[in-house]
Each structure stands twice: as structure tokens, then as C-alpha cells.
Structure 1
Amino acid sequence: MNLVKIFRLTLAAALLTAGTLAATSAQAQAPLKIGYTDVQYVLSQMPESKQIESQLKTYNDQLAAQLKSKTTEFETKVKDYQQKSGTMTDIVKADTEKSLQNLQQSIQEFQQSAQQSLQQKQQTLLKPALDKLQKNIDDVANENGFTYVFNSDGGGSPLLLHAPKEGDISDLVLKKMGITPGAATPAPVIKAPAPAQSPAPAPAGKTKTKTKK
């Protein structure tokens, strides 16, 4: 899922919560004029979109590197335990197993917190672009006499199911921002940080072995 799609619902909610448009008193007396814009299409062409993707990828890579380091440490310690457990006393073995279990839990907690941190980073980076988009939608709507503007984003559940082409203000919004309208370019996929393989369960308890009689 690309950046634009990740935040499609956030964008729609932000635009509607802000009121999308505030009609002036003159417009209130004028005939109702409804417009729409494809938020995904507009946002994907804003220069900020590529910048956000780049910053998110860097942040994601940092989190993934930390997670890989923790996972490698865990796997190394498990392997060491498996090689030496036969010569360990019961007390040392129990202490080592507890340490491994704690490390495994720490990795799982880091995975969860890394996912939340990445989502928060996305929201923080996207807010200025959202604010800019909202302002330009407001400006274009006011200048062209639109009373309301809806989101026609084709993915998921669009807020507009049918409308005439002349009501589409997407290209007007882009031009307002100094962007030449063109085909939307899908943004790179940003994956949540995760190890290639989940760490194997830490050893727990004593292992009984049968002896030949």
C-alpha cells in the first residue's frame, strides 16, 4: 500500500472535518454548486509526496536495522544455549532460559512500538501537505463559486458516486499550487519494519532425555 492510499481515509476525514469549504454569505444566496476532487490524484503529484516517501523510507530502514540487530543477538544466544545446555547446571540453565525469554519479549514489544512510531511519523510528515491541500481546495472553490467539494478518490469507499466531469476541480487545485496536471505516479511501498523471520521461541524449562538401559 503506497503512502497516498495509507492516508486516503485520513485525508478525507481531515477535509470533511475542516468543513472542506466555508461558503461566503454571497455564495449562500447563490444557486448551490457542488464540485469534487480526487484527493489521491492531487496528493500523488505534489512534490511533498516524494519527499515524505523518502523520509519515511529512511526512518523505516533505521527501525528495521535496530530490529534486525536485536533478532540476530537473540538467535546467536539461542544457538549458544543449545550448544552449551548439556554442560550447564540447572540454575545456570534456568537463568539463561529466562534471559532468552525476556529478550524475545523485548523484540516483540519493539516490533509493536516500531509500527506505531512509523504511523506517527507518517502523520507528522503528511500534516503540512494536508494543510496545503485544504487551503488550495478552499481557494479554488471560493474563486469558482463551489458551495461544497467532495472527495472522489476511487479507492476504498469514495464519498462521491456520480458527478459531471465539469464539477471536477482536481486539475484546478494542482494549477493553483503551480503543478502541471498529469498522470498520477504510484508512490513506493513502505513496509512496516519486521525481521525476515520471526525469532524462534526461547527455550523454556528442562528437557528430559531418555537413556538407554
Structure 2
Amino acid sequence: MNMFRVVLAAAALTLTSASVALAQAPTTAAAATPAPTTTAPSGPLKIGYTSVEYVLSQMPESRQIETDLKAYSTQLENQLKSKYAEYQTKAEAYQKGAATMTDVVKADKEKELTTMQQSIQEFQRSADQNLQQKQQTLLKPALDKLQKTIDAVSVENGYTYVLNSDGASPVLLHGPKEGDISDLILKKMGVTPGAAPVASAPKAGVTATPTSTSAASPSKTKTKSKK
């Protein structure tokens, strides 16, 4: 799964959780309080649903989000590659000169290589976290716009509740086609429904090296990679 689909799925799950809370609110309130003395709202209950992932993938903002995420990911990967290249250079120099080094110098070089390995691993963990934060920051305006549009479409078309039909735990398990308001939402935002979703996207994570940096370390040393 590429990064952008992960972002869309996370966004869909976020709105799904909110939808669950909304749908359960009347039941919870009724169980916790005495029977209401006021009359029930007039008019039939109208429930609609939408695919948050589908709508987001069709919004023009999605392509800019993809571009920005890819640029940021590339920047982090280049930094990681630079660190790894420096480590490889020092490891190769150690291998070539280890036979003529004193025990003190050898121990110092091995400690330096171990420290560099740990630094690379820590940078990659930090880069992955930064990338996730970047995703959330870039996605928030699009999600805010989507929520406002859902609210507007719901009011205009008389929907009491709007559920999310995708995500890890979809609220909607079955529903008639006429209840799907995804295209109404897109049209409200000036987007033509049915456009091709965002295609290629950056990888989900920052990687520029093998899983273990110990592959570049000398075979006959005391240097150990940190697991």
C-alpha cells in the first residue's frame, strides 16, 4: 500500500470514528436519561453515506498533498543516504587498515562505527515520525473542507446522519445507491465526479539502506549493530 492510500485510509477511519460517536449519541442519551417530555422531531429520519477515501482522492488538493509528501520524503531519504555513505566509507577504511592498527586505535574505530550505526537507525525512526506528522499537517485543510461540505450537503438535502462507507471499520454495512452522497459532495466543491484518483505516491516510510547497517561493517571486528 502506498503512502497516499495509507493517508486516505487514516482520514477515513478518523471520520468513521466521529460518525460512530454521532450515531450512538441518541441511544446513549436515551439510556441515561428519563423519557423526554418534549415531542420528537418532525419529519422522517434520512440517512446518507459517503466514501471519504473516494472523495479525498478526487479532490484537487490530493495531488498537491501527494507532490508535497513526495518532495519531503525525498529530502529525508537523501539525508539518510548521505549518512549511510559516510558510514560505508569509514567502515571500508577500517577494514583496509585494521591489520596495522593498535588495539587502542582499533577499539576507537569500532566504537565510532557503532555510534554511526545507532545514529543512522535513530535518524530513520525520527524521519518516519516526521513524515507521518507532515501527512497529518498537509491533510488537515482537505479534511476540514470535506467536513464543511458534508455539513452543507446534508442540510441542503435533508440528511439527518451521514455515515462513512470505508475505513478499517466502516460504519455502513449496507445501503441503497440513492443514499450515497459522495457525488453531491464533490459537485458542491466544484469537482466532477468520476475523475481518476491520485496515481503514484511516495513509499510509506523513509528507506535508503538495507534493514541492518551492519552489512557494511568489517567481518572480523567486535563491532555489533544495535538491534
Q: TM-score, length-normalised on structure 2? A: 0.81
Q: Name the residue aligned to 1:81.
A: 94
Q: Give me the whole-angstrom Cα distance separating, in 2, the residues matched to 1:4 and 1:91.
A: 52
Q: Name the residue aligned to 1:35.
A: 48
Q: Name the residue aligned to 1:70.
A: 83
**For 1:40-96, what per-residue CA distance to the aligned partner results, in whole angstroms no more than 9, with x for missing partners?**
111111010000000000000000000000011111110000000000000000000
| Structure 1 residue matching 2:214: 3-state secondary structure | coil
Aligned mate of 2:137, from 102, 124, 136: 124
**For 1:4-50, what per-residue CA distance to the aligned partner results, in whole angstroms no more than 9, with x for missing partners?**
443323333236438779xxxxx943211100001111111101000
Q: Name the residue aligned to 2:185.
A: 173
Partners of 2:65 and 2:139 within 8 A in 1: yes
Amino acid at match of 1:56: L
Partners of 2:62 and 2:198 within 8 A in 1: no
Partners of 1:53 and 1:187 within 8 A in 2: no
C-alpha spacing 1:9/1:55, structure 2 compared with 1 (3 Å):
closer
Partners of 2:69 and 2:134 within 8 A in 1: yes
Amino acid at match of 2:18: T
Q: Give me the whole-angstrom Cα distance separating, in 1, the residues matched to 2:6 and 2:107.
A: 48
Partners of 1:171 and 1:181 within 8 A in 2: yes
Aligned mate of 1:138, from 151, 157, 168: 151
Q: Give me the whole-angstrom Cα distance separating, in 1, the residues matched to 2:68 and 2:206.
A: 14
Shift of 1:158: 2.3
Q: Is residue 194 of structure 1 aligned with residue 220 of structure 2?
A: no
Sequence identity (%): 58
**For 1:121-148, what per-residue CA distance to the aligned partner results, in whole angstroms no more than 9, with x for missing partners?**
0000000000000000010011111011
Q: Name the residue aligned to 2:12.
A: 11
| Structure 2 residue matching 1:99: 3-state secondary structure | helix
**For 1:138-170, what per-residue CA distance to the aligned partner results, in whole angstroms no more than 9, with x for missing partners?**
1001111101111112x6432211101110100
Q: Give me the whole-angstrom Cα distance separating, in 1, the residues matched to 2:119 and 2:60.
A: 38
Partners of 1:39 and 1:151 within 8 A in 2: yes
Number of residue-to-residue matches in the alignment: 203
* Structure 2: unaligned runs, 5 residues or longer: 24-39
Aligned-residue CA RMSD in angstroms?
Answer: 2.5
Q: TM-score, length-normalised on structure 1? A: 0.86
| Structure 1 residue matching 2:162: 3-state secondary structure | strand
Q: Name the residue aligned to 1:185.
A: 197
Q: Name the residue aligned to 1:61.
A: 74
Q: Is residue 111 of structure 1 aligned with residue 124 of structure 2?
A: yes
